[in-house]
Structure 1
């Protein structure tokens, strides 16, 4: 079942500015955090040193501000990234609330990253870091809708075929004849959220589901 959103509801459900939960996800793994710290430290130190040598010129304040911006990159980098991800869904002209069920549950191994390391004989070998992902196929009375994929955790083992599931459906077309994207999803029977990235303001989405779906019944 698809229930089109009213004007302004999509923007209230997916914020333009990153939430705390979105910031934590966008911060990334320890390796990505370390990369940001290195960029912030190197860029900040270099620009601050330049600003010290240029304090007597009109460019001194500019380099000082640039140095501070670099030093804060570890904070504003994830915020900017989250805002960009939110914008990918906020741009769609048509959005609808979906209620259906899990048609199938699939698990797959995905390669997270590859790197070379020396073995006991000193020879380089390729090492792959893999992670198990869960893929949920969604459908309703009209048929197949799409797929939600996310890194699998122990709590996700309770998800079964037929589980009730709700999410947002985004499309370029008002009739939703072609689906552009799906948001993260809510399984009310399990009180569980799933998805690779937390697009939705979750309490607001749960409240919307209760209000709009109850009025339909």
Structure 2
């Protein structure tokens, strides 16, 4: 048993650099879903018309897992804050961070936590999402009105409340906003390149409101 255990532990140690990223990715995605499965309403035989019309169906649907949907919208507002709970009067203009670099983050050096990007994404249906992510030099060119895409997860097929939101893509800048890459980024970008309907809907969002 001693030799067997040593062999197993030695193999784990040897290949840890290969297995560790996959294990961490699995853990982060499990946390995003809260351990719940993703549901295909067609395979699950959910009466989608009834589910969208009746509030009572939310309880039954929530037991099945999480529903997913694309969020197609635009940047409504963008700024920088010290904490996610910072009030609006403590927001900094993104323009003031034109020379920002993550490795030289003054707040992180002083307080042990980095600056956060705060932005609101909105769509033509009136939905608004406020998102925070660690500030990065990639975000300095973000401006209101740019289209943005992400994936929403909800226990309700009507998405009356959100259970999770993935990282978000700003195609104008080829920029991803988020602290962790939940989406397959190459596949998402390929979807926009090949699906004309989704691309046109996304571009229409950016022209609905004039800035």
TM-score between both structures, scaled by the size of structure 1: 0.58
Equivalenced residues, count: 145
**Higher share in strand:** 1
Unpaired runs of 5+ in structure 1? 1-57, 112-126
1:79-90 paired onto structure 2 within 5 Å? 79-87=22-30, 88-89=32-33
Q: CA deviation at 1:59?
A: 3.6
> Which residue of 145, 164, 168 maps to 2:128?
145
| Matching of residue 91 in structure 1 with residue 34 in structure 2 | no
Q: CA RMSD in A?
A: 2.6
Q: CA deviation at 1:75?
A: 4.2
1:47-62 paired onto structure 2 within 5 Å? 58-62=1-5
Which of the pair has more CA radius of gyration?
A: 1
1:30-49 paired onto structure 2 within 5 Å? none
Aligned pair in 2 of structure 1 residues 110, 77: CA closer, same or farther (>3 Å)?
farther
Q: Which residue of 2 aligns with 1:4?
A: none
Q: Which residue of 1 aligns with 2:198?
A: 213
Q: CA deviation at 1:134?
A: 0.3
Q: Which runs of 4+ in 1 moved over 6 A?
A: none
> Which residue of 140, 146, 155 maps to 1:157?
140
Q: For 2:200 and 2:142, how far apart are their aligned partners in 1?
A: 27
Aligned pair in 2 of structure 1 residues 215, 103: CA closer, same or farther (>3 Å)?
closer
Aligned pair in 2 of structure 1 residues 209, 172: CA closer, same or farther (>3 Å)?
farther
Unpaired runs of 5+ in structure 2? 39-65, 85-109, 205-211
Aligned pair in 2 of structure 1 residues 214, 101: CA closer, same or farther (>3 Å)?
closer
| Matching of residue 63 in structure 1 with residue 10 in structure 2 | no
TM-score between both structures, scaled by the size of structure 2: 0.59
